[in-house]
Amino acid sequence: MQKNLAHKIYWVIFLGTFLFGFSYTKTSVASGFDHFITANGNKLMDGEKPFRFVSYNVPTLNFNEDEFEFGRKHPYSLPDEFELRDVFETVSQMGGKVIRLYTLPVKFNFEPDDVPSYVLAPNTFSEEAFKTMDKVLMLANEYQIRLIFPVLNNWQWMGGRPQYAAFRGKNEEDFWTNLQLIEDFKATINYTLNRTNTYTGIKYKDDKAILCWETGNELTCPMEWTTEISRYMKSIDHNHLIMDGYDAIDQVPVRLESVLEPSIDIIQSHHYESNPADFMEHVNHNRTIVNNRKPYIIGEFGFVGTPAIEQYIDHIIGSDISGMLIWGLRGHRSKGGFYWHSEPLGYGRYKSYHWPGFESGNEYDETNLMKRMRDKAYRINGEIAPPLAAPIAPELLPIEQVARINWRGSSGASSYNLSRAENASGPWNLIGYNLSDASVQYYPLFNDQTAEIGKSYYYRIVAVNQYGSSEPSNVIGPVKVKNRGLIDDLENFGKIYYSSAGISLETADDRKFKEDMYRLQGNPGQEMIYFVPGNIVEMKIYSFSKEDVENLSFEVSVNNKEYTPIKAERTSFNNGKGDYGYWVPVTYRFKADGENHYLKINFAQETQVSRIEIYYN
């Protein structure tokens, strides 16, 4: 670094930070987002008011790793404005003041071009991706929610340290010491901090929406690396605080060296202890190390029951800790429903949280926990959670078949009521009551089983929560009913006409099966039969097999006695096992004429069936 006058002034400022407990910022006499968050001794300050929070990690805020539409070969996408607004509105409704995004993604060098990322190669960045980040910052200001912004991931998920090393043919452990790799990462820091937002015209380093830069997520780095990187960040950005992203997880304590380093402003740790007593012990040990010299936050925690989480939060509220962020929250999806993500710890079926909580999250007490989290988000600031408003209108998506109706959900809606009419102006008849948009994963949400073939209908939908109902959505129609559909999402055996002994419902390892929570497993020689009260005209089966082979065969019958084999079009979406041991997604589809009421599915290989769609007239 150059030892010029500005650099000397910089070190005088940060010596003052270390000795006297304040951070240099551009100050303002206005309130709210006119202030940068500052550090005053062991506290975070928003102007003259202590800044405390109970809020959320949102791993998909700037980058989706959970786009599991069945026909996609990779799960990565950039969120659009609807999805971003949904997240910010959700966190705002819950009283959250902070969102911690996961990381700044780095491209795997073996991935095809259609996989998005932020860092494409050393000192090469995706303008499209960073425009998504621009939108994130624009909306964070609009909703007055601060961001914790980790600039590096220690792990390969979404890309990070291993990918930087791979660009140069190095081992990931070289990342901490290799001069070229350090310069590559500094190029990313320089680009990011100095970027001018294409929507607001504000440089990231001047954007008040950023609570702090975090050196990275769970970094197994030496202190020398942290010191060099945090000082480099401060040399570019004097406005924002820096948080140490060291791998202080569970029993691994925070580093005293980070507490003493002037360029580090905030200390954090992550906690996933299965025994709540261990959480208390480890957090209190970290508080002893920090010793009120700097703000300390719980950057991640979770995977325990509601009583333990409530106890954790109460402990933090009654302490000198500035805030805590639970892992993790995911929002609505533009194509309907929510994003889903299985977690590796705690409950066997633990998923990311969805607001305001749904029956699909009963196993981990989602609805009750979401309410408790909202109450605590206000209580940490000495406030009582205010009543919420009725939800805004959802958006009904285009309808091609009445068996596949879908909609964009409304933040905070607990259910939906779907109506149908034969004229655009009504009268409207309720055909779906108390519907959930968290009941199925990555498929359309509703099948109109009472529609009459040959007629045309108009549809609209209303969102509901305990505070009231939204205005009706947009109207879709006229939709001509060409056939009806039997749709089975395999939550139970209720729609199956017959199945062999030993065929089972499966509800584990959802990540291997595109996050589908309910599936049916069959083995070679087993079979299942469906009956429809009409003539089968089309079938589509969504299945998973361990290997990319013919795993199913099909027959049809008019009387359940004589069956005729049919040849279905097989499509494989195999993209390898990945990090999660994915099974191979395979669809089978056929169209038919004639009189057939029964469909027999024969298992040729070990197979899990995700969804059955049979259309008939």
User: DSSP labels for 432-494?
Assistant: EEEE-SSSSSSS-SB--TTPPTT-EEEEEEEEEETTEEPPP---EEEEE---EEEEE--SSST
Residue 443: the pLDDT is 98
Asked if the model's pLDDT at residue 1 lies above 80, the reply is no
Calculate the alpha carbon distances from 30 to 27, 33, 34, 46, 472 in Å. 9, 8, 6, 11, 40
Predicted pLDDT at 499: 97
Averaged pLDDT score across all residues of the chain: 93
Return the closest-CA partner of residue 24 out of 14, 33, 9.
14
Long-range contacts of 314-317 (CB under 8 A, 24+ apart): 314/376, 315/280, 315/283, 316/54, 316/283, 316/380, 317/54, 317/376, 317/379, 317/380
- Where exactly are the structural domains of the chain? 52-379, 395-482, 488-616
Backbone angles phi, psi at 445, to 5 degrees: -95, -20
CATH number of 395-482: 2.60.40.10
Instruction: Work out the number of other CB atoms within 10 angstroms of the CB of residue 54.
Output: 28
Question: Mean pLDDT lowest for which of 23-32, 125-134, 167-176, 233-242?
Answer: 23-32
- pLDDT for residue 22: 35
Amino acid, single-letter form, for residue 117: S
pLDDT confidence of residue 21: 36
Percentage of residues in the chain having pLDDT higher than 70:
94
Q: What angle do CA 233, 236, 237 make, to 5 degrees?
A: 80
Taking only the tens place, the pLDDT of each residue in 125-176 is 999 999 999 999 999 999 999 999 999 999 998 889 999 999 999 999 999 9
Region of poorest pLDDT, from 14-23, 56-65, 519-528: 14-23
- pLDDT for residue 330: 97
**CATH superfamily ID and name for 488-616:** Galactose-binding domain-like (2.60.120.260)
Residue 584 pLDDT greater than 70, yes or no: yes
Both tokens of residue 531?
């009956």
Class of domain 52-379 (CATH, top level): alpha beta
Please identify which residue in the block is written with the tokens 């928003």: 46
Does residue 571 carry a pLDDT above 60? yes
The per-residue pLDDT for 564 is 96
- How far apart are the two ends of the chain, measured CA to CA in Å? 75
Q: What is the pLDDT of residues 424-439, one digit of tens each?
A: 999 999 999 999 999 9
| Tens-place pLDDT, residues 349-377 | 689 999 999 999 999 999 999 999 999 99
Which residue, 161, 217, 155, is CA-closest to 188? 161
- Location of structure tokens 């139970």: 492
In terms of DSSP H, where are the helices of 380-407?
none
What stretches of 291-434 show up as alpha helix (H) in DSSP? 306-317, 366-379
Per-residue model confidence (pLDDT) at position 345: 64
Give the list of residues 6+ apart from residue 169 with CB closer than 8 angstroms, or none.
Answer: none
Instruction: Determine phi and psi for 203, rounding to 5 degrees.
Output: -70, 145
User: Given the structure tokens 């795993």, which residue do they identify?
Assistant: 551
| pLDDT given for residue 32 in this prediction | 56
What's residue 18's pLDDT?
Answer: 35
**272-281 pLDDT tens trace:** 999 999 999 9
Please enumerate in sequence order all residues whose Cβ is within 8 A of that of 319, keeping only pairs 6 or more positions apart, or say none: 287
- Whether 144 contacts 95, CB under 8 Å: no
CA 250, CA 340: separation in Å to the nearest integer?
26
Calpha distance 507→577 (Å, rounded): 19
Supply the pLDDT for residue 110.
83
Mean pLDDT score, 101-126: 94
CB atoms within 10 A of CB 129: 20
Looking at residue 112, its pLDDT comes to 86
Asked whether the beta carbons of 205 and 25 are under 8 A apart, the reply is no
User: How buried is residue 379: exposed, middle or buried, by Cβ count under 10 Å (0-12/13-18/19+)?
Assistant: middle
The answer on pLDDT for 30 being more than 80 is no
Q: What is the pTM of this model?
A: 0.93
